[in-house]
Amino acid sequence: MDAPGTLMTEEALLGLRRGDGRTLRDLHAELFPRVRAVCRQLLKAPAVADETAHDVWTDFVVDRAPGLKHPGAIAAYLHMMAVRRCCDQRRLQMRLDERDLAGEADGSESVEAHLAASSEQRELEARLAGCMERLTGRTREVLRMRFHRSMTQEAIGEVFGASKQYVGKVLKKSLEALRRCMGGKP
């Protein structure tokens, strides 16, 4: 992510600060693949890397972009955010793995029970990831913003230039689609 792209201009920076939809789409098309590539390089699981990359992009657009002073900082800041978030994700995974190993070592649950629960959890996560892939990119992003970042419908609407009612409809329809895909009631 070293070389600035064709969109790293003052105009792009102003559009990014204003939340201009076209500027956001153009910058996303140019820069998001780079963010995803960094995350995939640093994290083992592609699904975790992709989710982390989406989180980095969302955090950048919502929290960091308004404070940028120079267009050349856009790509550099995204790269820095991606590396830091991936390192945090790796540390979190190591702590979780250590906790799981400690739980097995103290005999608090049988290894078989732990493996069965872990296997079932992985199966559910894989099914959910497959169902999420069936949704559009924008819908997936709305779900991440709502449930992963705990953003309000109004805040999500501001990011996408939509009303909170529209965001509510998107959430309702996407959750119904996920329930159907997962085998639950709509």
CATH 1.10.10.10 in the chain is located at 118-180
Q: Of 42-46, 116-120, 150-154, 176-180, which range is least confident?
A: 116-120
CATH architecture of 118-180: Orthogonal Bundle (1.10)
Which CATH number among 3.40.50, 3.30.300, 1.10.1740, 1.10.3470 corresponds to the domain 1-108?
Answer: 1.10.1740
pLDDT at 6 over 70: no
* Structure confidence at residue 1 (pLDDT): 44
CATH 1.10.1740 in the chain is located at 1-108
Element (H, E) at 26: helix 21-42
Task: State how far Cα 183 lies from the chain centre.
Answer: 24
Over residues 45-87, the pLDDT tens digits come to 888 888 889 888 888 887 778 788 888 888 888 999 999 988 8
* Structure confidence at residue 171 (pLDDT): 94
- Exposure pattern of 26-43 as b/e (b: 16+ CB <10 Å)? bbeebbbebbbebbbebb
97 or 14: whose pLDDT is higher?
14
* Structure confidence at residue 3 (pLDDT): 44
How many whole angstroms separate alpha carbon 101 and alpha carbon 30?
Answer: 41
Question: Which residue is associated with the tokens 């103290």?
Answer: 106
Task: State how far Cα 35 lies from the chain centre.
Answer: 11
- Reported pTM: 0.56
Over residues 122-175, the pLDDT tens digits come to 778 778 888 888 888 888 889 988 888 888 898 888 888 889 999 999 999 999
* Structure confidence at residue 140 (pLDDT): 87
